[in-house]
Amino acid sequence: MNSLLWEEAIRFHGHECPGLAIGIKACEAIISKMNIKPNKDEIICITENNTCPVDGIKYVFGCGYDKKNLFYKESGELAFNIFNTNNSDSLRVIYIGKNNTNSKDEYTKYILNGNIDELFDFSEVKYSLD
The CATH number linked to 85 is 3.30.1330.130
pLDDT tens for 2-36 read 788 899 999 999 999 999 999 999 999 999 999 88
What Rg value do the Cα atoms of the chain yield, rounded? Answer: 14
Its domain, for residue 64, covers: 3-123
Between CA 108 and CA 45 the distance in angstroms is 23
Amino acid, single-letter form, for residue 33: K
Amino acid at 121: D
- For residue 38, the model assigns a pLDDT of 78
Mean pLDDT of the chain: 93
On whether residue 128 sits in a domain, the answer given is no
Domain membership flag for residue 79: yes
Q: Which pLDDT value is given to residue 14?
A: 95
Q: How many separate domains does the chain show?
A: 1
pTM of the prediction?
A: 0.93
In a domain, 12, yes or no: yes
Contact 95, 79 (CB under 8 A): yes
* 34 within domain boundaries: yes
Q: What is the pLDDT of residue 121?
A: 97
Q: Report the 10 Å Cβ neighbour count for 56.
A: 25
Residue 21 falls within a domain, yes or no? yes
Residue 19 forms part of a structural domain: yes
pLDDT at 1: 65
Mean pLDDT of the 117-125 span: 96
- The predicted structure's pLDDT at residue 25: 97
**In-domain check, residue 130:** no
Q: Is residue 129 part of a domain?
A: no
From residue 87, how far is each of 35, 47, 102 by CA, in Å? Answer: 11, 20, 42
pLDDT one-digit tens code per residue, 42-93: 899 999 999 999 999 999 999 999 999 999 999 989 999 999 998 889 999 9
